[in-house]
Structure 1
Amino acid sequence: MSIKIDSKHRYRQFICKLFFRENGAVTVFSVIVLSSLLLFFSLLIDYARIAALHKLTEDAVRSSVRSVLSAYDDALYKRYGLFGRGGTDGQIIFEEMMKANTETADDLGRSGMKLVRAKSDAAALHAATFLGSHNVFSRQVLEEMKYKAPVDFTLDIAARFIPMADAMKEASIAISLLESMRKLYEKREIHLANVLQMQKQMASTISGSSLSMLIPVQPGVVAIEGNSALGIAGEYSSYAAKVIYNQSLTAGEKKLNTAEIEAYEEKVTAFAMELRKVSDDIHRQHVKLQGEAIQELEAARALNDDMLRIVQQANQQPQHSGYDTVSKHKSANTEQHQVPADAASDIEQVRKAADELVKTDGWFTEYRQEVEAQGSSAASLDMEAGAYQSSSLAAIVKPVKSITADTLLESVTSLRLAYGAYEQKYIRPASVIVDRQKALDQGQISKQLKQQKEQAGSLWNQARSLLHGLTSIPQMEEHQKVFEQVQLRYNDNLLFNEQPDEATEIVDMEKASDAHMAAEQSNTLMGGLFSGMSGMLEKTRDSLYFGEYVIQRFTSFAPQHLRSMMTGGDISELSHAISFHNQEAEYIIYGFNNPVGNIAAAYGELFAARLAVRTMEGLLESKSLGHPLLILSAALIYGLEKSIEDMLAFSERGTAPLSKYIKVELSYTDYLRLFILMHGADDGASLARMIAAIELNSGTILSAVPSGVTGEAAVSMELWFIPGLIRTLGAVGLLEGKVVGNRYETTQTMGWSY
């Protein structure tokens, strides 16, 4: 028991010595340790309060910025689906929300101790992005249309063209080939016609000369001044007898008939010189014309070679990716509307028949030989004329018994035979010329082609007059002023976005000089339509979204406005209807800065689209004509007739059948959707035109409408403990703000956009 008491006593003594020593060393040590701990915890508390302040400020600025964006232009959204700052001034909203956010946080702590009592010292709001920026505008349009665009509707329009893809592809190749062949064919036939014409001119150098009177070979032909080769030969016997008699007289005897002898000799000399002169002139002209005929023939041969190359290239099956891509999307839904199963193959056969237009090289060789034979025949006639001249002049120089009238008659006979041979082949009945004429006319082909060309030309003039009527509409001054206002906004927006002014390439049907050029242009447009559809089906649907945005949000020109002009030529209604507010979509697509340009472009392309489809039908309807150019001309006539009917249908009810084989009606706006796919609506110029139209209608400059803002706020709080120590931490980069006096200040920046 005593041992336990002693142990407790010793323990108490030890404790007393340890804590209550008289020198105070332990007490000082304890104070130092506790002070260090107090300093550390005070620093830790203020640092935690600073971190909480940063979080509080970040949330407050974010909430305030979003509150600013909650005030948007209601009219702009309802009409165009676009978000832009509007309503109350954004700076006021931001300041009030920052104050409310910080004060609300402060009020929550009044019932007890609050670690962070923040104070909003300053708040500034800055616009970050603007709705007039193409990147911002296009993003909002895509976001809007991804949920609201009737994609299935536009895809259904494209699906209606799918059954025609193969036939339209073959029609495109066939028309392109046949048009190229036709141009070369017509040039070649002109050269061949020139060759034949020169053959006729070569013949006319002889038939139209005095040679036929110098060498009368037909009864009733009157010789020049009673002289002819035959007459001179017939008088030679009498002349020779008189000369021989005078030569037999002795010296001193008087010569008889000297006057008659001299007259005959003068007549022979003059006749021989005249015959030679006429023959030389004829031969010189004949040789010149023959050379020109050979040149024309070789030019025709060169064109024929070009035709052969075109046929060979066409047989290599060039790629038409747009048609092929659309054709791949055939489905069960497209089977109910089908062109004839053999339509594509039938049109392909028409295309392959184009090689019938090419002549063989042997044909040209044979024709050249024919022209050269005509020249040889003329040369023979010239040679016989020279022989007769030599014989007749020799007969009067030294007439002897060996030179008789029979000798001259033989020379005349040879001359007449040479003339007769030429005359029969090339003058009358001109068997060679007639046969060649028939060969070049190809029976009734040339006549039929001429008739079809006139008919197609008449129809094209009618269609062109219709299209020209759109460009000749009187333009009111108030309409033009609106377009000028739009153009100013358009240029300003391009400048704001640093974009160049790019013109839209269009198919201008009115500039087509004839029906064939119109067919080629319509062919080009249809290829563009199928390329646009293939891009939509295969690559991206952004172009579809932009197109639907244009169709849904902007007005288009109703085709019924054209009714009075197309039926009665009355354009008074049109002159009032062509205001900008009736053709916003057309302006966005084509970009013409006048009241009639965009409408003319849209309806010109509409006519071109209809002409392409109808010409394809015409190829199938006319395939039995055989000759490829007859088929082409007949197809154009059919296409023009039906296209004009389609335009009348649009003016009456706003729709027209897609094809005689596909019994569906497409409206004018359906075609506008396709034209947008073809031209695109996401380029800088198109976006600027959309923005210009919106600005005109809303009175708001989108380049000044913020679509995103940045808020900057300065917030501070009072430090509880040792500001100097916190300032030291800031100096070494451990803080995001700064210490001023006994307050910690920080700035927070936060951005947000629609």
Structure 2
Amino acid sequence: MNERVESEDTHSRNRECKRRRDEGSVTIYFITATAAFVLLTALLIDFARIAAFRKQAEISVKSGVRSALSSFDPIVYEKYGLFIRGGDSANELFLETLQGNVPETGSSGALKFLDTRWEETGVTESRPLASHDVFNRQVLEEMKYKAPIDLTLEMAERFGGLSSAMEEAASTVDLLEKMRKAYEKREAALDGALAIQTDVGEAIQQLLAAEVNDPPIDVNTGATAGSVNTIVDIAVGYEDYVSKRQEDEARRAAQRAAEEQKDLETETEETKESDDKEAVEDVVLEGPKYEAIVISYETGTNALAMTLNNRALSIISRSNEAGEDAIAKWLIAKEANEEMRALAEQAKVMPTASSTEQADGEIADETQSLEEIRKTADELVLEASFFEDYAAEIGEQRTLGQLLGNEASAFSSLAVSVPGSTGKGAYLRDGASRLQNGYSNYNRLYGANGTVGTNRLKVLQAHRSKDNEIKQEEQKARSAWSGATNFLASLSGATGSEEDKISFEQANELYRINKDWNHSEEEQARVEASSDPSAGRDQAMSETSGLLKLLEGSALGIRDQLYFSEYTISRLSRYDPVWIKGMLKGEDAPLDIHLQETEYILYGINNPAGNIAAAYSEIFAFRLAIRTMEGLIECRSMGHPLLVLAAALVYGIGKALMDLRQLVENGNVQLSKTIKVDTVYSDYLRLFLLAHGGSSNQVARMIAIMEHATGLDFRGAYTYASAEGSASVRLWFFPGLLKMLGKFGDLGGTVKGNRYESTYTADSSYQ
């Protein structure tokens, strides 16, 4: 029994021990789980604080860099609409903004969730306004809404509808000018060919003038032989020469026989000897009677034969050379004529210029009139038969020259055989007749006042009936052009004050500095005004037509040039025509560079009056193009296309110069005869800026102008800021553990002691 009780007690104690052991295990497990939970919670709290800290720091840096740029130069903005850093220090503004974003400390007993502390801060400024890329972006930003509206409302309205007519006029002038050049080339070649024909004809005439009679002399009548000057002298004196020569030969034979007889008879009677002697003496007294005449005839004949042979060779050589040279000129003329034919055909099929603007009735009529003028170009083309006839004429002259040379050579050969000959009279007479007739015929056709040359000149003059009038109009154009260039030269004659010159030098030096700093290419030299009015007109027509086409399409694709043009006009000065009026009257006019900023930017001439003169020269060219278009229509009744072209140029120069004077006197000028819209000086500057503005050199000059006006160096005028700030926050729990965790993952910062630190950057710019 007792054993059972003891056994039960033992069993109870064992159960109690087991219960206590189980309760102890649960307590340790709970404590372990609680500790892990507390640790995880602490880490999550610090992680949450770090995340909040990072977001706040990032926002603060971005806000700080924007605050730094909020301090901009008010003068540059007000005057030019551009932004550059100015005012307070960027670093101070940045740090002030960062400190302002740190939460208030509050009461001493309050719990601060974040105790942000900025360790290091700094702002780096860059992208100066002196850089062309930066400058252009700001200009584009300034003008991207305003420029197209201004252009549409002002420029397109003023110049609308003129583009198609100017394009048609430019095409007409271009075609007629090409026709004029080809016409002059053709006529010069034809004149050259005729001159060659005339020269060789007169030269051949002169070559035989002394030896061959013209008009021909009848050689069938005999004449006394003697000195020989012409081929007729040889032919008509031949029979007498033979007779006298034979008589002298007989006398010489008798004389020789008598002398021989005298030598053989040594022993004869005195009386007989005396008689024989008397007889011999008689023979001696009657020796050769015509020796001088015979010698003169033979000497003259030989000399003339030699001369005639040389003349014959020269005639043949010159005829061949002249024929080749004349044909070469003929080919040039024919090619020029074919060029003119092609141009005339082109004029017939050339499409009429079109415009995006609906042209009114008057503009349409002008366009049609210009098209009709172009089609008259075929009146200048010569028919193919003209050249066929002329080529045959040149060939015939060459052939006749060769035949004449051959006749002269043949007679020369015959004349060489005359001394000592007999029975050649008929041949000499026949040869002399042929040579005389050939020479006379050649002279009649090709000599001085020859019928062929005279007739050919009449044929040439037939299609040159208006040449004198054309030359008169061209002379008027040269005179008018000289007057216009003198007027424009008078604008550049002003020297300005010493202060003006200094300002230009200073601005130009700033321009060179900026150009070199941006590594801009060298600016092309401006083309000097031509002394030839036709060349000046052609350049004006081409540039004006292209400019108006550019204006039509500006809203569609010429963004940069358009914005540059409108920015320049809206922000920078231009020279008032009122001062030009005074300048032309001899009065002193202000020429400070800041009164003509637009002109200096456009042309870049480093003297007080040069840019103004350049602007008015370009306006004159523009007005010349418009007035030439009108002149073509006004003068079309003259008929001959080249006369119309020349007269239109005279009209254009005169009217353009009047327009220039009116612009100076009144400040405005009507656009054209049909488009009755007043245009002012600034309208033309806008067009020129649109046409050739916006180059790197012009941007450099614009920056130079702004630097000179403000006294700032835009190389230090920054438009971009990059800010960096390093901040830290105190860790509440287990900084060591976080530092260890940072070795296995990216915490976005570093743990230093009991603080977490991270660095943030932000960038901002004005464009």
Task: Give the TM-score range, shorter chain.
Answer: 0.7 to 0.9
The Cα shift of 1:424 comes to 2.6
The within-5 A match list for 1:250-649 is 251=254, 258-260=288-290, 262-263=292-293, 266-267=296-297, 269-270=299-300, 273-274=303-304, 277=307, 280-281=310-311, 284=314, 287-288=317-318, 291-292=321-322, 294-302=324-332, 304-306=334-336, 308-309=338-339, 312=342, 315=345, 327-331=354-358, 335=360, 339-385=362-408, 397-399=420-422, 403=425, 412-427=432-447, 429-441=449-461, 442-470=463-491, 473-474=494-495, 478-497=499-518, 499-504=519-524, 508=527, 510=529, 512-563=530-581, 570=586, 573=588, 577=591, 579-649=592-662
Q: Does 1:751 align with 2:752?
A: no
Q: Does 1:738 align with 2:758?
A: no
Q: Structure 1, residues 484-522: CA drift from partner, whole Å, max 9, x if none?
A: 43344334434544x43242575x351x24112112211
| Mapped partners of 1:318, 1:393: distance in 2 | 67
Amino acid at match of 2:521: D
Q: Alpha carbons of 1:251 and 1:278: their partners in 2 closer, same or farther (altered >3 Å)?
A: closer
Q: Structure 1, residues 272-321: CA drift from partner, whole Å, max 9, x if none?
A: 63376257437615742652453244244235425534753785689999
- Where does residue 49 of structure 1 map in the other structure? 49
Structure label with greater radius of gyration: 2
Deviates more, 1:192-201 or 1:413-422: 413-422
- Where does residue 3 of structure 2 map in the other structure? none
Q: Does 1:722 align with 2:734?
A: yes
- Where does residue 27 of structure 2 map in the other structure? 27
Per the normalisation by structure 2, the TM-score is 0.82
Preserved contact between residue 290 and residue 372 of structure 1 (Cα < 8 Å):
no
Preserved contact between residue 216 and residue 436 of structure 2 (Cα < 8 Å):
no
Task: Determine which of 120, 123, 126 is the counterpart of 1:122.
Answer: 120
Q: Alpha carbons of 1:234 and 1:745: their partners in 2 closer, same or farther (altered >3 Å)?
A: closer
Report the secondary structure of 2:144's partner residue. helix
Deviates more, 1:249-258 or 1:353-362: 249-258
Q: Structure 1, residues 53-95: CA drift from partner, whole Å, max 9, x if none?
A: 1222223223322222221100000000011111111212222
Preserved contact between residue 68 and residue 94 of structure 1 (Cα < 8 Å):
yes
Q: Alpha carbons of 1:100 and 1:392: their partners in 2 closer, same or farther (altered >3 Å)?
A: closer
Preserved contact between residue 533 and residue 677 of structure 1 (Cα < 8 Å):
yes
| Mapped partners of 1:240, 1:30: distance in 2 | 171
| Mapped partners of 2:491, 2:104: distance in 1 | 71
The Cα shift of 1:595 comes to 4.1
The within-5 A match list for 1:203-282 is 203-208=201-206, 211=209, 215=213, 217=215, 230=232, 251=254, 258-260=288-290, 262-263=292-293, 266-267=296-297, 269-270=299-300, 273-274=303-304, 277=307, 280-281=310-311
Report the secondary structure of 1:149's partner residue. helix
Q: Alpha carbons of 1:581 and 1:256: their partners in 2 closer, same or farther (altered >3 Å)?
A: farther
Deviates more, 1:280-289 or 1:123-132: 280-289
| Mapped partners of 1:133, 1:58: distance in 2 | 30
- Where does residue 9 of structure 1 map in the other structure? none
Q: Structure 1, residues 21-74: CA drift from partner, whole Å, max 9, x if none?
A: 897443333332322222222222222112111222223223322222221100
Q: Alpha carbons of 1:646 and 1:29: their partners in 2 closer, same or farther (altered >3 Å)?
A: same
- Where does residue 101 of structure 2 map in the other structure? 101
Report the secondary structure of 2:468's partner residue. helix
Report the secondary structure of 1:341's partner residue. helix
| Mapped partners of 1:421, 1:192: distance in 2 | 24
Deviates more, 1:616-625 or 1:281-290: 281-290
The Cα shift of 1:379 comes to 4.1
Per the normalisation by structure 1, the TM-score is 0.83
| Mapped partners of 1:342, 1:140: distance in 2 | 45
Q: Does 1:73 align with 2:67?
A: no
| Mapped partners of 1:596, 1:563: distance in 2 | 14
Q: Alpha carbons of 1:328 and 1:116: their partners in 2 closer, same or farther (altered >3 Å)?
A: same
Q: Structure 1, residues 401-433: CA drift from partner, whole Å, max 9, x if none?
A: x947xx766655444433332333234652221
| Mapped partners of 1:411, 1:185: distance in 2 | 47
Q: Structure 1, residues 304-343: CA drift from partner, whole Å, max 9, x if none?
A: 425534753785689999x96xx44214xx53xx544243
| Mapped partners of 2:150, 2:41: distance in 1 | 67
Any stretches of 5+ residues in structure 1 without a counterpart? Answer: 1-15
Task: Determine which of 722, 728, 735 is the counterpart of 1:710.
Answer: 722
Report the secondary structure of 1:53's partner residue. helix
The Cα shift of 1:192 comes to 2.0
Q: Structure 1, residues 370-391: CA drift from partner, whole Å, max 9, x if none?
A: 2232333344444554565566
Size of the aligned set, in residue pairs, is 714
| Mapped partners of 1:314, 1:686: distance in 2 | 43
Task: Determine which of 184, 188, 192 is the counterpart of 1:194.
Answer: 192
| Mapped partners of 1:465, 1:289: distance in 2 | 52
Report the secondary structure of 1:294's partner residue. helix
Amino acid at match of 2:733: F
The Cα shift of 1:218 comes to 9.3
Amino acid at match of 1:706: Y
The Cα shift of 1:163 comes to 2.1
Q: Alpha carbons of 1:328 and 1:229: their partners in 2 closer, same or farther (altered >3 Å)?
A: closer
Preserved contact between residue 243 and residue 399 of structure 1 (Cα < 8 Å):
no
Report the secondary structure of 1:363's partner residue. helix
| Mapped partners of 2:494, 2:298: distance in 1 | 80
- Where does residue 181 of structure 1 map in the other structure? 179
| Mapped partners of 2:500, 2:247: distance in 1 | 110
| Mapped partners of 1:162, 1:148: distance in 2 | 20
Any stretches of 5+ residues in structure 2 without a counterpart? Answer: 1-15, 218-225, 256-281
Q: Alpha carbons of 1:275 and 1:341: their partners in 2 closer, same or farther (altered >3 Å)?
A: farther
Q: Alpha carbons of 1:292 and 1:93: their partners in 2 closer, same or farther (altered >3 Å)?
A: same
Amino acid at match of 1:28: I
Preserved contact between residue 214 and residue 439 of structure 2 (Cα < 8 Å):
no
Preserved contact between residue 560 and residue 650 of structure 1 (Cα < 8 Å):
no
Identity of aligned residues (%): 34
Report the secondary structure of 2:87's partner residue. coil
| Mapped partners of 1:217, 1:680: distance in 2 | 77
The Cα shift of 1:675 comes to 1.4
| Mapped partners of 2:92, 2:639: distance in 1 | 82
- Where does residue 7 of structure 1 map in the other structure? none
Q: Alpha carbons of 1:286 and 1:531: their partners in 2 closer, same or farther (altered >3 Å)?
A: farther
